[in-house]
Amino acid sequence: MERTGLEMNTTCFNHSRKYISYCSFHDMMCCQYCVSESHQYCQVQPLQEVDAKKVENDLRNLTLEFQAIENFLVKMMSKIGDQRKQCLEEIGQVRNHLQTQLENLEKKMTENISRDYENLKSETEYTMEQIGNDKIKVQMMANKLTGLKRKGTDEQYLCAVTSTKNELRAIRRSLAEVRESRALLEKNMSVHVNPNLTSFDEKNNSFGEVVIQSSASIMSYSKPLSRRRMAQETFRSETDISLKKCDTLTFPRKMRITGCVRLPGGKHVFVESHKNRLVLNESGKFRDIMPFTESPFDVCHIGHNIVAVTIPERNEVVYVDILKGIQIKSSLFFKNKCYGVDCNGECMVIGFPNNERVIVADLDGTELMSFKVRGERFTLGPCEIYTVDEQLDNVICYELSGGKRWMYPDKVRQPAGVAVDRGGQVYVFSKFNKSLYLISPYGRTSRILEDNAKEDLNDFSCLYMYPGSDELLIFSYSTQAIMYTVEG
């Protein structure tokens, strides 16, 4: 049987010394003699600093993808079932114009439809079972790593991470085969009725044929999981970070910006809640692109020229083509008021602060999961949600599965806006002292980056950082927004 992390050996086989370091080049643990004899020119690091975050993220991403595939297959099966009924109804309508001689042909055709449906159903159920089994394996590996992280030693945890990496390779290969197979092709069932039946002849020996059409589905997969070694990534230190004012966006009128998103190419889309509209900024030129009857609150980029906008008073999320200035598909409606919305290119998160809840959905709005989150404002990282609770003075980081990673309590008073950079540094605006705080990754420390003595930060309304960039925007109810560059 395979050994667990708790059963792994913690001492060097060659020197009978305790492992103290990890060599990322050779992908192995080392004792002090191994380092001096064989790894003096390698980049080694203490075991407690080995970054297992990538494996943990892979486990979470795989779980989300398996869930999305399951939802897609269930939805497709329901649709095919409805199409099967439509096919049978069409056959029945033709049969009503014919007499007894058509009954045998109808029976044969019905059997063909049922046979092809059962074959399609069997193929889909097999894929669902395969996906479900792999999902359970990933969840079990994630639970196993969590247990070792809490109770095991660093050496045991690293052994478990290494073992998990090997198992993930096999699961990724299996998942790649599913992606490339016919199982995830969009399937539709219809019937082609023999045109000769309109002038029925006893020589006809066919009622028609069942047609199964397959096409590429619109579901989106998560990004491929990388195979990089567990090397420590180098990010800027929180002690070296500073803000440099690089520009000021001057609006054509006084606006209350409650939401902002930057599109590829440098365009900005603003939510102007005071005038109930979206505003597009393209190379310094502003134009209104979409009015609403109720006040919008937040916006996120879905893909291409498409954005999603929340309308709290209508419990609605609207999809808008910003170039055409029109709604492009049916809105999403909910039972409660929705405020914040964000998207990381793979999933969308919608906030319901009055119910202390967020939902994680695919890009079409199909709910994947929901969990409790306090606070009106949040921002979405690759695998995390960062949120601020203005009433309880908390800054909290959650996993996309709902688990709480860390909390930074009582230090930032009345936190009202949050952004995060590519290194995991968190930027939070405090309404209490009208200052911008920097919180280090994992919520260890904080300090003030900008305060009201340096800039006019009164009547704050929104904070935004474009993912993967060093551009930070601060909005207030005024005729301009302040743009900073994060340096360090």
pLDDT per residue as tens digits for the range 266-299: 889 999 998 999 999 988 889 999 899 999 999 9
- Contact assessment for residue 308 and residue 319, using Cβ atoms and an 8 Å cutoff: yes
Of the candidates 320, 327, 326, 317, the one whose C-alpha atom is nearest the C-alpha of residue 349 is 317
**What's the pTM?**
0.54
pLDDT at residue 215, rounded to an integer: 60
138 has pLDDT over 60: yes
* Confidence category of residue 3, pLDDT binned at 50, 70, 90: very low
| Rounded percentage of the chain residues whose pLDDT exceeds 90 | 20
Is the pLDDT higher at 155 or at 40?
155
Each residue's pLDDT tens digit, 48-77: 776 666 677 778 888 888 888 888 888 888
pLDDT at residue 224, rounded to an integer: 43
| Rounded percentage of the chain residues whose pLDDT exceeds 70 | 86
352 has pLDDT over 90: yes
Each residue's pLDDT tens digit, 80-136: 888 888 888 888 787 776 666 767 777 888 888 888 888 888 888 888 888 888 889
Which position has the token pair 């170039």?
323
pLDDT at residue 418, rounded to an integer: 93
Distance CA 486, CA 243 (A): 5
Phi, psi of 130 (to 5 degrees): -60, -45
Distance CA 449, CA 429 (A): 10
pLDDT at residue 267, rounded to an integer: 87
The mean pLDDT of 180-209, rounded to a whole number, is 73
Q: Average pLDDT over the chain, rounded to whole?
A: 82
* Confidence category of residue 229, pLDDT binned at 50, 70, 90: very low
442 has pLDDT over 90: no
pLDDT at residue 292, rounded to an integer: 94
* Confidence category of residue 311, pLDDT binned at 50, 70, 90: very high
Q: Residue 242 pairs with which residues in a beta bridge?
A: 487
Helices (H), 152-244: 154-180
pLDDT at residue 387, rounded to an integer: 94
pLDDT at residue 360, rounded to an integer: 92
* Confidence category of residue 10, pLDDT binned at 50, 70, 90: confident
pLDDT at residue 424, rounded to an integer: 85
pLDDT at residue 204, rounded to an integer: 61
pLDDT at residue 219, rounded to an integer: 53
The mean pLDDT of 467-472, rounded to a whole number, is 82
30 has pLDDT over 90: no
pLDDT at residue 7, rounded to an integer: 40
Question: Cβ–Cβ contacts within 10 Å for residue 184, how many?
Answer: 21
The mean pLDDT of 420-439, rounded to a whole number, is 90
* All residues at 6 or more sequence positions from 297 whose CB lies less than 8 Å from its CB, including other chains: 258, 259, 271, 273, 310, 311, 312, 339, 340
pLDDT at residue 234, rounded to an integer: 43
Distance CA 372, CA 102 (A): 60
Radius of gyration of the chain (CA): 28
Distance CA 388, CA 374 (A): 8
* Confidence category of residue 6, pLDDT binned at 50, 70, 90: very low
pLDDT at residue 64, rounded to an integer: 84
Of the candidates 422, 438, 415, 406, the one whose C-alpha atom is nearest the C-alpha of residue 240 is 438
Q: How is residue 48 written in tokens?
A: 């407690």
- Contact assessment for residue 156 and residue 102, using Cβ atoms and an 8 Å cutoff: no
pLDDT at residue 186, rounded to an integer: 83
4 has pLDDT over 80: no
Is the pLDDT higher at 3 or at 397?
397
The secondary structure of 15-64 as a DSSP string is T--B--EEETTTTEEE-HHHHHHH-TTS-EEEGGG---HHHHHHHHHHHH
- Contact assessment for residue 215 and residue 121, using Cβ atoms and an 8 Å cutoff: no
* Confidence category of residue 199, pLDDT binned at 50, 70, 90: low
Length of the chain: 488
* Confidence category of residue 318, pLDDT binned at 50, 70, 90: very high
